[in-house]
Chains A and B, each alone.
Chain A
């Protein structure tokens, strides 16, 4: 089974609203990463948060990590139609080891 599980599976919002996606995982991790995939394209890395970090920002992105609950959230503020994509979390258990991806959240931002 997938290490990461995203919630919700699909999210539809209006442009300008905030979008929050959640990820839960089962084992201890070294870091957690979020990726975006536009339709028909490869995945693009968005942000990485280390296991000893609790919150990280990058532009309109805010990621939190709660290792006690084994969960993370990705917040996209002031969403745009161009943010429409699938978003995946991925965990890495040890440095240099494989990434394990969740099933993704499909975000639709309506203009």
Chain B
């Protein structure tokens, strides 16, 4: 398996533009997580899905952020309009609950977003 796939790996955009980040989880995994990592705030969970349904979006900073998971193999995180303070590395991770539901998460390589 190729692991969790994220695209693009790097994104540079100007303030006010729409940004869409993409994630393909590991096949067979039914939980998907979006994280944001910055030096100041560390690793923050933005939202996670179980079986394509959003379970907890309390970490989504504001209405400018939205996430979708239209099927088990694809998710998007959209920022519209983007602002310089959104600059960060965004990670997608997936997991599959085992027999005892002790879930390790598998992370993608991340998307480094720079908003000018």
Q: Give me the interface of A with B, judged by CB distance under 8 Å.
A: 2, 30-31, 33, 35, 41-45, 48, 50, 88, 92, 95-96, 98-104
Residues in A neighbouring B50, C-beta threshold 8 A: 96
**Interface pair B110/A96, CB less than 8 Å apart:** no
Q: What is the interface of chain B, defined by CB distance below 8 A to chain A?
A: 4, 31, 33, 42-43, 45, 48, 50, 56, 91, 93, 97, 100-110
B104 and A45 contacting across the interface, CB-CB below 8 Å = yes
Q: Are B100 and A95 in contact (CB under 8 A)?
A: yes
A14 to B45, CA, bound (A): 34
Given A42-B108, A96-B97, CB of A101 within 8 Å of CB of B102:
no
Check B42 against A42 for contact (C-beta < 8 Å).
no
Contact among A33, A45, A96, A102 with B106 in the assembled complex (CB-CB below 8 Å): A45
Query: How many whole Å from A105's CB to the nearest CB in chain B?
Result: 12
Q: Which residues of B contact A98 (CB under 8 A)?
A: 33, 45, 48, 56
